[in-house]
């Protein structure tokens, strides 16, 4: 039943949680909720676990090492760095607003944030630890044990660690000026940004990047209108995308469409981190996803709109 509650919470967060005028309802992008109903104690515990390096084998990395909250929830690197300097296979997606994604990881292999939280901890190439080790370390700390027991009847357990981290991650919601615009504040974004939004819709970017998270609610093939991987070369396992999860040929090079919220802060872009700037990323999208050229001025306007998606502040809990 707990899982059902979690899903309902996520589902509810995907729903429109504000004034729903006719104009707002007709928009493909919807505003973030103004308030998240989360257990403040779990959020607090989850935050401390998120920053806790004891979750890695050699106490050198925490979740925040890759998902730096001060850097848009990413590490700014092409690929993530694991323990002992191991270079990971894929670019770190942002943790901000990840609670609104319908699946987690680029290939969608985790159905929930709880499942996702366990992944890096147990991955030898990332935090390189395992649950017995993590539990051993945390159970030696009386203060942590006490905090766990205050929230969970069975104390320090893997599922409780996952629950707390996931709850904290759900609290990482970043309303932007564009959300205020969607809620009716016409002056929240500039005329140029409005023009950029209009172009974002008319060029078809919005076909995939829509919904409350401006993406994150579907999968899409990378290279719809052109062969991105042939042109880029050096095919890696990470390039297989969802195929590596399902083994279905139709899923080769299929990835979860990333959210564009805070996109101005999360360079480099794409699962392979090959686009160092928004300008490059937009060019690649026009070429391989939209299959059409666009004047530089239109691309600049779209980038201007994308910058209006940068969060102004996290929602206060």
- Any idea which residues carry the catalytic annotation? 126
Q: Find out whether 65 and 59 touch, Cβ atoms under 8 Å.
A: no
* Residue 250 in contact with another protein, rule: CB under 8 A: yes
Nearer to another protein, 184 or 291 (CB): 291
């980038």: which residue's tokens? 303
* Residue 4 in contact with another protein, rule: CB under 8 A: yes
Give DSSP secondary structure letters for 152-209: -TT-S-HHHHHHHHHHHHHT----BHHHHHHTT-TTSS-HHHHHHHHHHHHTTGGGTS
Q: How far is the CB of 289 from another protein (least distance, A)?
A: 8
Out of 71, 125, 219, 314, the only residue in the binding site for another protein (CB under 8 A) is 219
**End-to-end distance of the chain based on CA atoms, in angstroms?**
25
Q: Which stretch binds another protein (CB under 8 A): 47-55, 58-66, 229-237, 246-254?
A: 246-254
* Residue 217 in contact with another protein, rule: CB under 8 A: yes
* Residue 28 in contact with another protein, rule: CB under 8 A: yes
List C-alpha distances in Å: 67 to 14, 62, 110: 22, 9, 17
Report residue 200 CA to chain centroid gap.
20
Q: How far is the CB of 74 from another protein (least distance, A)?
A: 23
Q: How far is the CB of 255 from another protein (least distance, A)?
A: 10
Cβ atoms within 10 Å, residue 15: 10
* Residue 20 in contact with another protein, rule: CB under 8 A: no
- DSSP character at residue 275: B
Q: Which stretch binds another protein (CB under 8 A): 20-28, 64-72, 176-184, 307-315?
A: 20-28
* Residue 131 in contact with another protein, rule: CB under 8 A: no
- DSSP character at residue 269: B
Q: Name the token pair of 267.
A: 């360079």
Cβ atoms within 10 Å, residue 10: 17
Write out the residues near another protein by the rule CB under 8 A. 1, 3-4, 6-8, 10-11, 14-15, 25-30, 102, 111-112, 202-204, 207-208, 210-212, 217-221, 224-225, 246, 248, 250, 254, 289-293
């Amino acid at each position: 039943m707990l899982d059902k509650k979690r899903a309902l919470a996520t589902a509810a967060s995907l729903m429109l949680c504000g004034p729903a005028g006719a104009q707002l309802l007709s928009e493909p992008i919807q505003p973030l909720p103004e308030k998240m109903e989360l257990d403040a104690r779990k959020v607090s515990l989850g935050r401390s676990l998120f920053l806790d390096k004891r979750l890695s084998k050699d106490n050198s990395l925490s979740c925040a090492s890759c998902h730096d909250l001060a850097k848009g929830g990413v590490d700014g690197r092409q690929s993530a760095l694991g323990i002992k300097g191991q270079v990971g296979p894929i670019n770190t997606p942002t943790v901000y607003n990840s609670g609104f994604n319908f699946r987690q990881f680029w290939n969608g292999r985790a159905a929930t944030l709880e499942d996702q939280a366990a992944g890096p901890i147990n991955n030898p190439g990332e935090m390189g630890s395992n649950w017995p080790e993590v539990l051993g370390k945390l159970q030696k700390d009386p203060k942590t044990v006490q905090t766990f027991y205050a929230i969970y009847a069975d104390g320090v357990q893997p599922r409780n660690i996952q629950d707390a981290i996931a709850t904290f991650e759900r609290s990482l919601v970043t309303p932007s000026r564009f959300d205020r615009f969607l809620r009716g504040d016409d002056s929240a974004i500039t005329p140029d940004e409005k023009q950029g939004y209009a172009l974002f819709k008319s060029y078809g970017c919005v076909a995939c990047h829509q919904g409350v998270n401006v993406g994150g609610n579907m999968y899409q093939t990378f290279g719809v209108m052109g062969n991105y991987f042939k042109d880029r070369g050096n095919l890696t396992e990470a390039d297989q995308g969802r195929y590596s999860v399902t083994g279905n040929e139709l899923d080769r090079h299929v990835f979860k469409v990333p959210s564009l919220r805070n996109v101005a802060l999360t360079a480099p872009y794409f699962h392979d981190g090959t686009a160092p700037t928004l300008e490059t990323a937009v060019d690649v999208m026009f070429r391989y996803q939209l299959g059409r050229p666009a004047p530089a001025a239109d691309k600049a306007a779209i980038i201007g709109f994308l910058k209006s998606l940068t969060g102004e502040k996290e929602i206060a809990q």
